[in-house]
């Protein structure tokens, strides 16, 4: 039994009252929009079989999986020879389970296991923590939440439009307006790759284009040419990339290939979005966007804050093979994921959390004696049954100590019960920030606090 001061594992966090209520606020808004849009909740266990998890995230991802030791005498299925062959070999003998790395693979597993019961199109959301044995650094944690929504088993551009409306509604509900939704389409990127003569090298081409923000135009051109691209065609591509007007941009691409699937979808997408102009949808086409190269096959999204320096706070796209890794082909869909931690950081920096949500209670009932304390018990229960977050200082301590406590927990109001108040039925309601106080009957107090 260790008596030394306990610590938290590196890269993990406690969320105390204030942070917890702010996180709940964000999660509640996301969740209520998910359900309003017809998504239903899925929850999967923290632990998955390693056979489910490994091989799905590349070698690097496999390294970051947390592995759980088999219970009991975990070495019983291993031999000294296994030990001698090292960590990588021994793992199969001593561990069968790991912590989930994301919500997509567990979702795919669920779909495969329940494929005959699921009604398609299936809209599921999932809000749960995931774990990665990453090197902890600012803004990167070993346990963090993902908030995912996916629509599977259907194609049609309305899905793409709907998710854009959903993103808009979520951030609108959070009162967060400093962001831009960037979209792109994999088919357009692939068309451009072919155009510069890099057919078959689409993925490395996209990876270079994606770096435009970071390494600049000259370096990108150099790298793409090194892949074997035609220099004149590449110049033309850079011209197209520099265009900011969407119609102009699209017509340039149409002039390369008027039948390109990506262009057709993007046009239809903007057409349908146009119907919701009252919503102030902040979306732009960014041909340099190229996320999730091995996974996404159609439109891709990324939401970036504009006034805060931060990576994307939401992202996603269309994929055409969710469950192929588990042997079930043909399940396509589209999904987005909100990054709770980053949204939290942005909202904190922009001071967007309503003051009320971090109030532990709205009113603390304080008193002067055993008798008034007992009287306060009915009062506090009256307040609570009217939906008011209320507390009674639990013992008949000195009034000074009670007010100290009121200050520490920053209650906006105290309700003071002395002998006189108890007799008259008019209690002193004190506004703790102005110091103002007024005798009021309990009904009036309830009205005042609810109003």
Residues 92-151 within binding reach of a second copy (CB under 8 A)? 94-97, 99, 109-110, 112-114, 119, 121, 123-124, 129, 131, 133, 142-143, 151
Please tell me the distance from the alpha carbon of residue 319 to that of residue 331, in angstroms, as a whole number: 9
Angle at 294 between CA 290 and CA 296, to 5 degrees: 60
Q: Which of residues 340-359 bind a second copy (CB under 8 A)?
A: none
Write the Ramachandran bin of 264: left for phi over 0, alpha for psi from -120 to 50, otherwise beta.
Answer: alpha
Q: Is the dihedral of CA 268, 272, 277, 281 positive or negative?
A: negative
Q: Is 77 in the site for a second copy (CB under 8 A)?
A: no
Q: Which is nearer to a second copy, 67 or 448 (CB)?
A: 67
Q: Is 63 in the site for a second copy (CB under 8 A)?
A: yes
Q: Is 213 in the site for a second copy (CB under 8 A)?
A: no
Q: Which of residues 144-183 bind a second copy (CB under 8 A)?
A: 151, 154-156, 158-159, 161-162, 165, 169
Q: Is 421 in the site for a second copy (CB under 8 A)?
A: no
Site string for a second copy, 273-312 (x = CB under 8 A): --xx------------------------------------
Total residues interacting with a second copy, rule: CB under 8 A: 111
Q: Site for a second copy (CB under 8 A): which residue of 90, 256, 281, 399?
A: 90
Closest among 445, 171, 430, 419 to 281, alpha carbons compared:
171
Q: Is 194 in the site for a second copy (CB under 8 A)?
A: no
Smallest gap from residue 204 Cβ to a second copy (A) = 23
Among the residue ranges 185-193, 283-291, 325-333, 412-420, the one whose residues contact a second copy (CB under 8 A): 325-333
Helix (H) / strand (E) element for 50: namely helix 50-53
Q: Is 24 in the site for a second copy (CB under 8 A)?
A: yes
Please tell me the distance from the alpha carbon of residue 13 to that of residue 204, in angstroms, as a whole number: 37
Q: Which of residues 364-383 bind a second copy (CB under 8 A)?
A: 373-374, 377-378, 381
185, 276, 345 from 168: Cα distances, Å: 20, 11, 19
Task: Kindly tell me the burial class for residue 329, based on how many C-beta atoms sit within 10 Å of its own C-beta (0-12, 13-18, 19 or more).
Answer: exposed
Among the residue ranges 67-75, 203-211, 221-229, 305-313, the one whose residues contact a second copy (CB under 8 A): 67-75
Q: Site for a second copy (CB under 8 A): which residue of 257, 352, 405, 444?
A: 405
Among the residue ranges 177-185, 192-200, 204-212, 392-400, the one whose residues contact a second copy (CB under 8 A): 392-400
Among the residue ranges 7-15, 192-200, 223-231, 239-247, the one whose residues contact a second copy (CB under 8 A): 7-15
Q: Is 388 in the site for a second copy (CB under 8 A)?
A: yes
Q: Please identify which residue in the block is written with the tokens 């439109």.
A: 299
Please tell me the distance from the alpha carbon of residue 241 to that of residue 209, in angstroms, as a whole number: 10
Residue 136: DSSP 8-state: P
Closest among 161, 151, 174 to 33, alpha carbons compared:
174
Q: Which is nearer to a second copy, 80 or 245 (CB)?
A: 80
167 Cβ partners below 8 Å, 6+ apart?
A: 181, 301, 303, 314, 336
């Amino acid at each position: 039994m260790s008596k030394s001061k306990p610590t938290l594992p590196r890269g993990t966090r406690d969320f105390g009252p204030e942070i917890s209520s702010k996180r709940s606020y964000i999660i509640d808004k996301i969740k209520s929009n998910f359900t309003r849009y017809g998504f239903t909740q899925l929850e999967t266990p923290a632990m998955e079989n390693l056979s489910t998890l490994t091989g799905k995230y590349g070698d690097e991802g496999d390294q970051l999986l947390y592995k759980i030791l088999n219970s009991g005498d975990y070495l019983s299925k291993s031999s000294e020879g296994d030990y001698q062959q090292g960590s990588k070999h021994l793992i199969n003998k001593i561990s069968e389970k790991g912590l989930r790395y994301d919500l997509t693979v567990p979702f795919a597993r669920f779909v495969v296991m329940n494929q005959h019961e699921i009604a398609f199109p299936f809209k599921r959301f999932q809000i749960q923590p995931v774990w990665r044995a990453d090197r902890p650094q600012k803004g990167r944690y070993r346990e963090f939440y993902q908030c995912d929504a996916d629509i599977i088993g259907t194609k049609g551009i309305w899905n793409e439009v709907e998710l854009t409306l959903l993103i808009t509604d979520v951030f609108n509900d959070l009162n967060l307006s400093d962001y831009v939704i960037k979209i792109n389409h994999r088919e357009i990127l692939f068309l451009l790759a072919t155009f510069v003569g890099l057919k078959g090298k689409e993925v490395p081409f996209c990876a270079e284009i994606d770096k435009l923000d970071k390494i600049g135009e000259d370096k990108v051109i150099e790298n793409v040419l090194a892949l074997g691209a035609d220099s004149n065609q590449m110049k033309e591509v850079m011209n197209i990339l520099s265009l900011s007007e969407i119609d102009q941009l699209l017509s340039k691409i149409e002039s390369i290939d008027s039948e390109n699937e990506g262009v057709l979808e993007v046009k239809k997408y903007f057409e349908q979005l146009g119907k919701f102009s009252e919503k102030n949808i902040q979306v732009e086409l960014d041909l340099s966007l190229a996320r999730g190269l091995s996974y996404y096959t159609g439109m891709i999204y990324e939401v970036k804050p504009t006034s805060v320096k931060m990576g994307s706070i939401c992202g996603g796209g269309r994929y055409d093979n969710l469950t192929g890794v588990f042997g079930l082909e043909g399940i396509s869909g589209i999904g987005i994921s909100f990054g709770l931690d980053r949204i939290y950081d942005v909202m904190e920096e922009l001071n967007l959390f309503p003051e009320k949500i971090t109030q532990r209670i709205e009113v603390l009932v304080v008193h002067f004696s055993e008798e008034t304390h007992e009287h306060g018990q009915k009062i506090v229960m009256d307040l609570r049954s009217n939906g008011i977050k209320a507390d009674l200082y639990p013992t008949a301590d000195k009034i000074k100590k009670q007010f100290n406590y009121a200050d520490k927990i920053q209650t906006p109001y105290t309700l003071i019960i002395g002998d006189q108040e108890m007799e008259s039925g008019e209690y002193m309601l004190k506004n703790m920030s102005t110091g103002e106080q007024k005798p009021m009957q309990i009904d009036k107090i309830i009205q005042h606090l609810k109003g």
